[in-house]
Amino acid sequence: MIRHCFFLIFAVLPFCGLQAQDTAISPRYPGAGCFEGEVAVGATFGYASLGSFDNDAAGFCLVAESRYNFRRTPFDVGLRLGGSCYSRLAAGVCSQDPFMMFSLMAVADYNLHLTPKVALFAGAGIGGAYVLRTAEGAVSDTPSSDCAAFCVMPRVGCECWNRLRVTLGYTCTERANRHLSLTFGIAIGGGRR
């Protein structure tokens, strides 16, 4: 008899787990869809105090991100692919030098729901970056060339109407190529959190 009870419990248990993941936590927090993507564009601001460079100028950045939303917790994790381009004005020279960087990072965010239509989030990314024409020579004796580097990006943002995302992030990599980015993105999939 005990064997039959255990068999029945373990036979029904997987179906109970599947049902529990599809239900909402509460009417106020129904849970998001499992996967969502984001495409974002924005402005990038390079690091200014670099010895032989007087000033930096805002540039352009493009980001694509895919995320997995956990149903019962306000966390999501994902993968972020980004590219940024910004300019620096060398001391005593009239032309600006462009600097480009491509990054691939694993990201994680914690979502704080203020209202059904507005959610704040804070998170971080960690991964690698490939820098074209690094300015490391401006702060050390090494020549300027392409390089691969480790990068970390703390970020904060706001998601409105479950679609529009505004994100402010600071990419920490080698000293010469640290930069701040402000992006505006559209979330595809996922739905209401």
pLDDT of residue 25: 44
Cβ(35)–Cβ(189) under 8 Å?
Answer: yes
Rounded CA-CA distance 104/74 in Å is 23
Q: What is the DSSP letter of 144?
A: P
Write down all domains in the chain, each with its CATH number in brackets: 34-186 (2.40.160.20)
The DSSP annotation for 17-80 comes to HHHHHHS-S-SS-----SEEEEEEEEEEEE----SSEEEEEEEEEEEEEEEEE-SSSSEEEEEE
Cβ(131)–Cβ(86) under 8 Å?
Answer: no
pLDDT in tens, the chain (193 residues): 445 444 444 554 444 433 333 334 444 445 546 899 999 999 998 765 666 565 667 889 999 999 999 888 899 999 999 999 887 766 666 656 677 899 999 999 999 988 889 999 999 999 999 988 665 555 454 556 788 899 999 999 999 998 999 999 999 988 778 889 999 999 998 765 5
| Short-list 166, 165, 179, 80, CA closest to 126 | 80
pLDDT of residue 26: 45
pLDDT of residue 158: 96
pLDDT of residue 103: 96
